Amino acid sequence: MNPASMDSMDTDVYTLHRGTIPLLVSVPHDGTAVPDGIAARLTDSARRVPDTDWHIARLYAFARDLGASMIVPKYSRYVVDLNRSEDDVSLYPGQNTTGLCPTVQFNGEPIYREGEQPASGEIAQRVERYWRPYHGALRDELDRLRSEHGRVLLWEGHSIKGELPFLFDGRLPDLNLGTANGTSCSPELQSRIETALAVQGSYDYVVNGRFKGGYVTRNYGDPANGIDAVQLEVSQRVYMDEEGFRYDEAKAAPTWLVIKTLLEQASVP
């Protein structure tokens, strides 16, 4: 066992690695599993689960060596999107986006064969079966770390293809920091991360641009009560082959080193 860790919990919905420092890394779109009964209803292109945050847990593997906790789901966002609220309120009103149990891919194509989309009863079952256990474990781990350390940082690790006309115009910056317009973390913490972003010089970035932070960041971020939450959306071109979904070690090494610096700056007491 890593000496910086306590233990791990492996369930059929998620894996939780419990660390020893006040940092929890959540990667809610890393999962790729789709139950057979759902997979049989998907279009051929959707069965590849192309909208996965590919290899994002691998990119953040270094965080466990720092002593961080990490929670990783097993199921695809096509089963249920763990970064959406259970009432499916849009994160970006007026813009193209995807929902709690998405029916449209990031390229605008359908996820389900015609007439096979999930009805409200099935969506409720998926929430109970997959969504609620993940969020229960995330909440419990945040509470544990805050109780032990007084404060805790929740870091939401995400990635996405750098150009997706259905969702946003033009080219997405390499690194996209979201703090719900400064409400999900303390001003001091955001300032430290922005300074580290400005200094690194290797990747372009934006703060609270197209991706301001999803449900997890907005719901759990409570800086006044000891929980800071930050989302980092990474363009997949900086660490992998976007078309073939292949992890690229040469690209990934400098990327995770920059992310490591951001985490270290964010974790300063």
Q: What is the pLDDT of residues 18-44, one digit of tens each?
A: 999 999 999 999 999 999 999 999 999
Instruction: Work out the number of other CB atoms within 10 angstroms of the CB of residue 177.
Output: 22
Taking a C-beta distance cutoff of 8 angstroms, is the pair 181, 212 a contact? yes
Taking a C-beta distance cutoff of 8 angstroms, is the pair 265, 193 a contact? yes
Q: Residue 128: helix, strand or coil by DSSP? A: helix
Give backbone dihedrals phi and psi of 225, rounded to 5 degrees, phi first. -115, 25
Q: Residue 187: helix, strand or coil by DSSP? A: helix
Taking a C-beta distance cutoff of 8 angstroms, is the pair 178, 252 a contact? no
Q: What is the pLDDT of residues 177-208, one digit of tens each?
A: 999 999 999 999 999 999 999 999 999 999 99
Beta strand pairing status for 240-241 and 69-73? Answer: unpaired
Locate 86 and state its tokens: 């259970």
Locate 258 and state its tokens: 């920059």
Taking a C-beta distance cutoff of 8 angstroms, is the pair 208, 162 a contact? no
- Residue 156's beta-bridge partner residues? 26, 231
- In order along its 269 residues, the chain shows pLDDT tens digits of 343 446 889 999 999 999 999 999 999 999 999 999 999 999 999 999 999 999 999 999 999 999 999 999 999 999 999 999 998 665 554 554 568 999 999 999 999 999 999 999 999 999 999 999 999 999 999 999 999 999 999 999 999 999 999 988 999 999 999 999 999 999 999 999 999 999 999 999 999 998 999 999 999 999 999 999 999 999 999 999 999 999 999 999 999 999 999 999 998 76
Which residues have a Cβ under 8 Å from the Cβ of 71 and sit 6 or more positions away? Answer: 14, 15, 16, 17, 24, 25, 26, 27, 134, 137, 138, 141
Q: What is the end-to-end Cα distance of the chain in Å, rounded? A: 27
Task: Enter the pTM of the model.
Answer: 0.94
Rounded to 10°, the helix 187-200/249-266 angle is: 150
Taking a C-beta distance cutoff of 8 angstroms, is the pair 228, 152 a contact? yes
CA 166 to chain centre: 20
CA angle (30 as vertex; 163, 111 as ends), nearest 5: 60
Nearest to 78 by CA among 33, 119, 108, 14: 33
> What is the fold, at CATH topology level, of the domain defined by 5-266?
Aminopeptidase (3.40.630)
Taking a C-beta distance cutoff of 8 angstroms, is the pair 215, 84 a contact? yes
Cα(108)–Cα(115) distance, integer angstroms: 17
